[in-house]
Structure 1
């Protein structure tokens, strides 16, 4: 089984000023003078805030479980007679190598989540709202709030499945590449291991399939939120 994700650090989703202004106008003025664009922007903002939190929270468990599914082991072999490598030295390096691989996996999952799922929410919402309510009027949004949330959630779940495929497809290959890079960067002379060759092995447990499936199922259940439906109906 082989996988790789995408490197990046987790960052809060950037604020979208005109969306925030639209929501503020709706709340302060009752929406009587709000334009169609402003109303759609408000719906988009509600979705982005609600669904992004659900997705990021679900990914916390996914990252922990995927990292646990990747086993890292190091072996040291003396190249010259008389060199002694203690198990403690190798174990210490193994722990550091595992930490480096885990950090990279988490960053790549975060980046993939943004690119493959969160970045598409805006377009999904606009497409569904205009399909169900071409005029994007309040009466239609209130009447169809549940249908809008269900349809947008279905589109997001398609993206979630694509994310899961990407995570699984490259995990092993990426873990091995990251491990090899870690070994190359080691200062073996400083560690007293200059004449010792170190071999790194990364293995992915079969349980990763169960954890990825659980992540997808969690998203399916959580993305249709009663609160989000109520919030859209109340605009």
Structure 2
């Protein structure tokens, strides 16, 4: 009989790890909200950052996994977990490559909120995905749907900035930074391509790491689930 992989959903180290992720994410966002109120930043701007949205999604995901068992989750749950993992990991990578000032990338003098939301939480969630297998095997072809949220975010940001208040959350979305809308093809295309490649890599890792622990997992994978009837400075996201 094949021995079960020790880092499963209910293992004590995994539960503890996910609790730490939740606490770190909640503290970072609470700190952000305090700064938002103190500095007079409009909530409509603060919560429009992909970084903030991705970290909130992480909190929801981790609480969901902590409160429910694998067999009680819908069949599509592992794709939701994979998508949120991809969003937060790519948030950290895009920040390091495109948004951080050169002296911030490896600096430890940045604020906790910046370090947590762009460094600690992305890598902690990424390790959770790498070390704790999914309940069902991921279909990489279906992971293309994970791009729906980044694309929707992009369109919503352009509609808001172009038609409503002229505010864009990131420089690679701002036509004023690139000589007009045509100038956005390059920087925005690079970000979208990075997301597509990153999503496919995360999905592939999830598929390769999948290991059915035994007959119970096989039945879980084959039977329907009972529930089936997403900044420039240290202080900004």
User: TM-score, normalised to structure 1's length?
Assistant: 0.36
Larger radius of gyration: 1
From the two aligned structures, give the one with the greater strand fraction.
1
User: TM-score, normalised to structure 2's length?
Assistant: 0.36
